[in-house]
């Protein structure tokens, strides 16, 4: 176990949303009771002003750092960033990460029991938005006694949530870090999500969402394969795999997976089905498709006028899913409003996945930003 690890951590569950006070969704539906599973790392100071909220991406969850069991082979998904002496220094900050609603890792989602029927929601679960996810997180933050977050950070879909927080609850956020994200998904990104959902829905084992057991494994695996392609750069694929055959020196002249890249994607798809729910994949990708700052808040220049936080935006040179041009669009809108914002593009061959792969580069940038915020707050 890493000597700078937060060590063993235990998930907690916050339940809210009584019949008299449900979570009202943007669709007009209500949801309750609602469970939010979360973890915390570090210790809150007296007035809880050292709290930092971490927001996860599509396939992430609340387990961002540390271990649930000493025998765990892998730590939380951002363990290299969270811990004593790391970017999110838990000897100084109180770090919180929660699982989104609609997910499949404990927070209320399609796998949860519908109190009205006593059966899992499945497709009776209402479609949720990024705004709904943030509203649920706000309930958790209030429950934890936090009146203003020192900072928050998220990449990809986590960046969507950061942006939604900045616009929906501007007075709650002192600083924010938005990584490899955008003000909306491009038509191309929506297209890839649509192909993934179609693969799930057309799998005979999906059964209109009423599957039990393993369910539509083939469809979910294909959805992940398609999605994973978008996370990688052309340069990385050529360098790592090229046209290399997996286990032969000549073509097989059949339709087996013989190229190394095919075997890699098959592996990624197969392992994903062991840890994720197909219906949750449908709901979460739909929420990503719906996210659009301009549609919800008006043109970016107008929308970002309400931001009160100091912001840091990070993009990656080879990320074609959320290209730097989309980040610059947001930075320009903030600058046009005179808002304090920093921006950096990191040169990387790893594509969209870089924020999870090249932690050392990102850690140095985020540490500098947060130390600057500490100085600003102390002054």
Q: Could you give the residue numbers annotated as active site? A: 156, 319, 352
Give dist(CA 282, CA 200) in Å, integer. Answer: 8
Contact 79, 2 (CB under 8 A): yes
Is 368 strand, coil or helix? helix
- Three-state SS sequence of 253-307: CCCCCCEHHHHHHHHHHHHHHCCCCHHHHHHHHHHHHHCEHHHHHCCHHHHHHHC
C-alpha atoms less than 13 angstroms from C-alpha of 109 in its C-beta half-sphere: 25
The answer to whether the beta carbons of residues 316 and 180 sit under 8 Å apart is yes
Residues paired with 88 in a beta bridge: 82
Distances, alpha carbon 9 to alpha carbons 38, 63, 73, in Å: 10, 9, 15
Candidates 108, 157, 165; CA nearest to 134 is 165
Measured CA to CA in angstroms, residue 11 lies from 16, 51, 128 at distances of 17, 17, 23
Q: Are strands 94-98 and 34-41 parallel, antiparallel or unpaired?
A: antiparallel
List the beta bridge partners of residue 178: 154, 313
Q: Which parts of 129-216 fold into alpha helices (H)?
A: 130-143, 157-168, 187-201
The dihedral over CA atoms of 294, 300, 305, 306, expressed in degrees to the nearest 10, equals 30
Mark 183-211 as b/e (b = at least 16 C-beta within 10 Å).
bbbeeebbebbeebbebbeebebbeebeb
| 3-class secondary-structure state, position 178 | strand
């Amino acid at each position: 176990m890493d000597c700078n690890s937060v060590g063993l951590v235990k998930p907690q569950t916050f339940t809210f949303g009584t019949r008299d006070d449900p979570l009202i969704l943007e669709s007009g539906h209500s949801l309750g009771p609602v469970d939010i599973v979360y973890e915390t790392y570090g210790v809150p100071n007296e007035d809880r002003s050292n709290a930092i909220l971490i927001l996860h991406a599509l396939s992430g969850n609340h387990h961002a750092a540390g271990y649930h069991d000493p025998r765990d082979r892998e730590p939380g998904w951002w363990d290299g960033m969270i811990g004593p002496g790391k970017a999110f220094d838990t000897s100084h900050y109180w770090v919180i990460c929660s699982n989104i609603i609609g997910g499949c890792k404990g927070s209320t989602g399609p796998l949860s029991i519908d109190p009205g029927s006593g059966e899992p929601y499945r497709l009776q679960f209402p479609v949720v938005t990024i705004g709904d996810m943030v509203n649920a997180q706000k309930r958790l933050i209030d429950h934890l006694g936090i009146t203003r977050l020192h900072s928050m950070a998220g990449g990809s879909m986590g960046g969507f949530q950061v942006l939604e927080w900045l616009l929906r609850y501007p007075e709650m956020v002192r600083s924010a870090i938005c990584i490899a994200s955008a003000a909306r998904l491009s038509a191309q990104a929506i297209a890839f999500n649509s192909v993934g959902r179609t693969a799930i829905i057309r799998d005979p084992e999906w059964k209109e969402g009423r599957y039990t057991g393993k369910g539509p494994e083939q469809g979910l695996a294909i959805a992940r394969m398609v999605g994973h392609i978008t996370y990688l750069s052309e340069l990385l694929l050529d360098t790592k795999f090229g046209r290399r055959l997996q286990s032969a020196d000549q073509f097989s002249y059949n339709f087996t997976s013989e190229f190394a890249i095919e075997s890699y994607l098959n592996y990624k798809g197969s392992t994903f089905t062991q840890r994720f729910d197909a219906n949750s994949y449908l709901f979460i990708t739909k929420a990503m498709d719906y996210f659009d700052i301009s549609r919800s808040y008006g043109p970016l220049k107008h929308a970002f006028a309400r931001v009160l936080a100091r912001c840091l935006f990070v993009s990656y040179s080879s990320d074609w899913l959320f290209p730097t041009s989309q980040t610059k669009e947001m930075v320009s809108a903030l600058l046009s409003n005179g808002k304090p914002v920093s921006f950096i593009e990191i040169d990387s061959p790893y594509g969209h996945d870089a924020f999870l792969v090249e932690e050392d580069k990102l850690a140095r940038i985020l540490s500098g930003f947060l130390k600057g915020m500490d100085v600003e707050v102390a002054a």
